[in-house]
Amino acid sequence: MTEIDFIVIGSGVAGLRAAISLSRGGRVAVLTKDRLDESNTEYAQGGVAVALSDEDEIELHFEDTLTAGAGICDEKAVRVLVEEGPHYITELIEWGAQFDREDGELAFTREAAHSRRRILHARGDSTGSEIIRALLAHARRIPEITFLAHAATIDLLTEEGRCVGVRFIHPSENLRCEMRARAVVLATGGAGRIYSQTTNPEVATGDGIAMAYVAGAEVSDLEFFQFHPTALAAPGAPRFLISEALRGEGGILRNDTGEPFMSRYDQRAELAPRDIVSRSIKAEMERTGCQWVSLDMTHLDPDFLRRRFPKIHLTCLRFGIDITSSPIPVSPAAHYLMGGVRTDIFGRTSLPGLYAAGETACTGVHGANRLASNSLLEGLVFGARAGEAALEEAPPLRSVTTPAPIHLSPEDWIFDPLIRYQTQELMWRHVSLIRNHEGLSTAISRIDELIRLAPNSRTLNLLALARLITAAALWREESRGAHYRDDIPGRDDLHWRIHSVTAIPHGRAAAAAPPCIKGRVSVNL
């Protein structure tokens, strides 16, 4: 295919839901750089937050989201999320999604910073996997949707200030191809793999954000990167996510002497927001000189744990840990990017023809700190809205001569392994849970050196995003939500209750130029 009505980049919850909306008015190509079911959505364990239970209220979900967001959520976007969320979850159930039930009724659990039990889950701790299964099954029944797996998008095509398509690597022949469309929806997920310690899968490298930035779109709030407090820290084990839901069900964090410690850092203890729990764990590790703390579930019923957390239970068993009888070694890891490509509540970016949804977008829903389990709901709601807006607004396809595919060697488009490793280590050392002016300045200088060595566009995209995150963190001279600077530990609502918004002129050549904060956009108070 060289021409199609709509292109969706990414096959997670936001991309699939956008494709379903777009299919009502044209042919849709869904491009993804790995398997169709390989995305951050697939690894989402805890669940999806939605005000559907009899004891919950939409207004309470709204207030909890604002509180977690540390003062800079966009209230209009949050209102859309919590009010439309029940409709899209109900729709998903009608399409075959099987959430866990008790006595025939939907079962809800509670996670940190939620005032009610409003977290739906599936197969215990495989919620994301179930949502992807249901969405893919529904999308595959729609003949207007075509899937192209193992097709890595490397550039957005722009003409006369409009996004008109993509440049990608054909999955089987290492051919650089172009595909044009009436509109493009970016749903490439997160960027955890820009850090050396992360819960994210290999595909989460932030390509979409960097591509949009290079093409001229605004990006926003990239300084707000959420670090999950509890990733598996067993020797030889991957940084497997140990869900927030374990603490919601009564898990206790203990130091190396077995002492519970969270109440010393926050009165909410284990149910404090993620940023507080993560920094508390880091502080306790430094205080005791240990490389991890323990999450203790052994006081809970073993049958309940095996039934409620089957995936976590089996994964830990593979590394010699039985969560029913032994504490789980855990430590923080990069998990979720609250910022991204700046959009309105319909997924429109500042670049005409380009829409974005899910973790790659910044709708303003999450503010400075995402409320647990709001991400899957955001993908559903804003994926659908982005697809509907693109369908309504996209002009007719303008037919042009598409260049012939160009054969590339893998070295022309895959990440340079040494530069990628150096970038990940640099970001973890200087731009992770605790930051300061000296470390951030050091990181920017080193990233600038690596930019000059970048051998191809994908490596340059990785470095461009690393620099954007670091520059935004250096610019924000306060501590707020997931962004914490030990040289400026206080929150400053008078001067900094604002978003960072960054953009560069159109053109690939400009990507190597240092990004600047374009302006301060006040939040909707």
Q: Which DSSP helix (H) or strand (E) runs through 62?
A: helix 58-68
Report how far apart, in Å, the C-alpha atoms of 155 and of each of 168, 211, 295 are. Answer: 7, 6, 43
Burial class (CB in 10 A: 0-12, 13-18, 19+), 345: buried
DSSP at 295: E
Nearest in space to 412 (alpha carbons), one of 443, 458, 366: 458
Query: How many whole angstroms separate alpha carbon 81 and alpha carbon 149?
Result: 30
Contact 31, 151 (CB under 8 A): yes
Selecting among 17, 182, 274, 342, the annotated active-site residue is 274
Q: Catalytic residue at 274? A: yes
Helices H, strands E: what count in the chain?
14, 23
The pairing of beta strand 183-186 with beta strand 6-9: parallel
Instruction: Calculate ∠ Cα 359-430-458, nearest 5°.
Output: 50
Q: Find tokens 């909410």 and name the residue.
A: 268
List strands edge to edge, sheet with 340-342. Answer: 361-362, 340-342, 219-220, 498-502, 517-522
Burial class (CB in 10 A: 0-12, 13-18, 19+), 326: middle
Handedness of CA 418, 424, 428, 430 (dihedral sign): positive
Q: Enumerate the active-site residues.
A: 274
